[in-house]
């Protein structure tokens, strides 16, 4: 990623690339709930320590996954995508590439097959763009592991609402914009409750519940619950 891209990613996102407004910046306002300073500091320490430890322990697995993707079709190992974080801040979000090269460019052709119906989010159970390796990575959520980098960097937390795409945020209601009150996370309430099987409206409700209940104890509980949720493969596609 170039230095220019890093600078672009660091500024708040209030408009799309064509200049049209992404959202009314004033509609975000101040978070309705805010953890005390001690809780916020403890959460950040937990994020850095756990993410750093996982990156070190999982390094052999990360290298094997990278090698497998590269050998599979010769394409790039990582897929980088712009996402929206706390208070509308844009950042670059990496995943192990699970689609064929160029798959994102034909996304518009798949919209009529959205398993979430006419929803802001797009989920497709049998997406033909997914590679054989990519399907396994998605089922076990291994494609998300590079985002530990974002946790260490501070763009994300271990626990929080999943980071949305700019065009999704552009369609948010004032209620849905509440998801941007906290840092996005690797896991969240709806991730341990059914993942992609949870419709968007319920995802929002669960994210707001997390925001209003946020605590270090809840984060630890959700981290523990994430392990069986991932291993069960329920709602993973």
Per-residue pLDDT tens over the stretch 55-112? 999 999 999 999 999 998 899 999 999 999 999 999 999 999 998 887 777 666 666 6
Residue 19 confidence class, pLDDT cut points 50, 70, 90: very low
Distance CA 50, CA 99 (A): 28
Domains of the chain: which residue ranges? 35-232
For 119-144, how does the pLDDT look when each residue is reduced to its tens digit (9 = 90+)? Answer: 687 777 777 888 999 999 999 999 99
The residues near 196 (Cβ < 8 Å, ≥ 6 apart) are 115, 123, 125, 235, 236, 237
- Whole-prediction pTM value? 0.81
Distance CA 117, CA 200 (A): 10
Triad 219, 222, 228: Cα angle to 5°: 155
Residues 207 and 188 sit within 8 Å (Cβ to Cβ): yes
Residues 188 and 195 sit within 8 Å (Cβ to Cβ): no
Distance CA 11, CA 13 (A): 6
Q: Which of 168, 165, 215, 210 is nearest to 189 (CA)?
A: 210
For 139-171, how does the pLDDT look when each residue is reduced to its tens digit (9 = 90+)? Answer: 999 999 999 999 999 999 999 999 999 999 999
For 198-227, how does the pLDDT look when each residue is reduced to its tens digit (9 = 90+)? Answer: 889 999 999 999 999 999 999 999 999 999
- Evaluate if residue 10 carries a pLDDT over 50: no
Q: Where are the alpha helices (DSSP H) in 164-199?
A: 166-169
Distance CA 174, CA 42 (A): 30
The residues near 76 (Cβ < 8 Å, ≥ 6 apart) are 97, 101
Crossing angle of helices 216-232 and 200-213, rounded to 10°: 150
pLDDT (0 to 100) of residue 114? 65
Name the token pair of 30: 């101040």
Residue 140 carries which DSSP code?
A: T
The residues near 9 (Cβ < 8 Å, ≥ 6 apart) are 1, 82, 90, 91, 92
Averaged pLDDT for residues 48-52:
98
For 179-193, how does the pLDDT look when each residue is reduced to its tens digit (9 = 90+)? Answer: 999 999 999 999 998
């Amino acid at each position: 990623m170039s230095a220019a891209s890093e600078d672009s990613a660091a500024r708040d996102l209030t408009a799309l690339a064509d200049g049209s407004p992404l959202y009314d910046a004033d509609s975000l306002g101040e978070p309705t709930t805010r953890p005390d300073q001690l809780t916020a500091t403890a959460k950040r320490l937990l994020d850095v320590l756990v993410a750093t430890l996982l990156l070190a322990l999982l390094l052999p697995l990360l290298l094997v996954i990278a090698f497998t993707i590269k050998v599979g079709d010769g394409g790039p190992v990582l897929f980088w995508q712009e996402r929206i974080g706390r208070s509308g801040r844009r950042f670059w979000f990496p995943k192990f590439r699970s689609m064929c090269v160029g798959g994102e460019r034909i996304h518009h052709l798949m919209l009529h097959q959205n398993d979430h119906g006419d929803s802001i989010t797009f989920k497709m159970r049998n997406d033909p763009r997914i590679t054989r390796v990519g399907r396994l990575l998605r089922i076990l959520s291994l494609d998300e592991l590079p985002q530990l980098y974002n946790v260490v960097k501070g763009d994300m937390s271990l626990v929080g609402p999943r980071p949305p795409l700019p065009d999704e945020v552009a369609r948010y209601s004032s209620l849905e914009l509440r998801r941007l009150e906290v840092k996005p996370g690797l896991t969240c309430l709806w991730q341990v409750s059914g993942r992609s099987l949870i419709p968007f409206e319920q995802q929002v409700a669960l994210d707001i519940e997390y925001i209003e209940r946020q605590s270090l104890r809840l984060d630890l509980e959700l981290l523990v619950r994430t392990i069986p949720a991932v291993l069960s493969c329920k709602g993973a596609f």
